[in-house]
Amino acid sequence: MKLILAILSNDDSPAASNALNKNGFQVTKLATTGGFLRAGNTTLIVGCEDEKVQDAINIIGEYSSKRTEIVPSTASYDIGRYASFPVEVQVGGATIFVLNVEQFVKL
């Protein structure tokens, strides 16, 4: 048995979690914070059989692929007035750890 820890953005986690559930995986969601950006993210905990790990990773990847989004930049003083210009930022992606489970007990 393996334990998957998947860190993904708060935007992607509901869809990823739903898809995992629909495909028979049990999921626990933790509200976490990135140490570098200090922004909120979500860590999904999934315990599953070894042969199911790749399926879970594929599902998570489907709902958290890296993509670019256009967002308004912070307003800056330009051309004689404060203006906000759209900038392209990369969002999404997942950081996934797969750990061996020594013992699994449900009481």
Q: What residues make contact with ligand 2BA under the rule CB under 6 A?
A: 7, 34-37, 39, 41, 93, 95
Sheet strands (E) in 49-93: 67-72, 76-78, 81-83, 86-91
User: Closest distance between ligand 2BA and the C-beta of residue 25, in Å?
Assistant: 20
Our CB check for ligand 2BA shows the closer of 34 and 86 to be 34
Which residue type does 89 have?
A: V
User: Closest distance between ligand 2BA and the C-beta of residue 67, in Å?
Assistant: 13
User: Closest distance between ligand 2BA and the C-beta of residue 105, in Å?
Assistant: 26
Q: Which of 2-11 are b and which e, b meaning 16 or more Cβ less than 10 Å from the residue's Cβ?
A: bbbebbbbee
